[in-house]
């Protein structure tokens, strides 16, 4: 399982600290698991699978696909639930605003929002490439 923890972390391009923060454990816990010096608890396995949409059988045995197959609606619902549960006030406000306007905003406004999100994603990707 240790190799799959490392594979998962590399797939998401996250540090041990980032993974630990998202599931409520320390960086050293993740490090120990990845080096095979500690076994992952049942809770930690469930938390990893829930937080990152990971197939539990793959994590435990290596069989099957890493990511669980989810519908777009399931993925959106899961992500918005996490945003509303444990994010900054700004992220919560943005999610709340989107929910309020989803049925009433004209298509051309959605096109504008889409374009702005794409620009933001491009800036993030460029910054990551510069770091590497």
At the fourth CATH level, the homologous superfamily of domain 2-61 is lambda repressor-like DNA-binding domains (1.10.260.40)
| 63: CB partners within 8 A, 6+ apart | 57
pLDDT in tens, 106-119: 989 999 999 999 99
What is the predicted pLDDT for the residue at 103? 83
**How many CA atoms, within 13 angstroms, populate the side-chain half-sphere of residue 9?**
21
pTM confidence score:
0.57
The structural domains of the chain, with segments of one domain joined by +, span 2-61, 72-131
In this predicted structure, the answer to whether residue 28 has a pLDDT above a threshold of 80 is yes
| Greatest Cα pair distance in the chain | 55
Q: What is the DSSP letter of 54?
A: B
Share of the chain above pLDDT 90, in %: 55
pLDDT in tens, 35-83: 999 999 999 999 999 888 899 999 999 999 998 877 777 777 777 776 6
What is the predicted pLDDT for the residue at 8? 92
């Amino acid at each position: 399982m240790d190799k799959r923890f490392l594979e998962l972390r590399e797939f998401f391009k996250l540090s041990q600290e980032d993974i630990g923060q998202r599931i409520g454990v320390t960086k050293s816990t993740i490090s120990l698991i990845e080096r095979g010096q500690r076994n992952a608890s049942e809770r930690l396995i469930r938390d990893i699978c829930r937080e990152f949409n990971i197939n539990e059988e793959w994590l435990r045995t290596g069989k099957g696909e890493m990511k669980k197959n989810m519908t777009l609606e399931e993925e959106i619902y899961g992500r918005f639930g996490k945003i509303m549960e444990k994010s900054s006030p700004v992220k919560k406000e943005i999610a709340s605003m989107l929910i309020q306007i989803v049925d009433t905003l004209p298509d051309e406004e959605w096109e504008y929002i889409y374009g702005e999100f794409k620009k933001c994603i491009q800036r993030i990707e460029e910054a990551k490439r510069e770091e590497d």
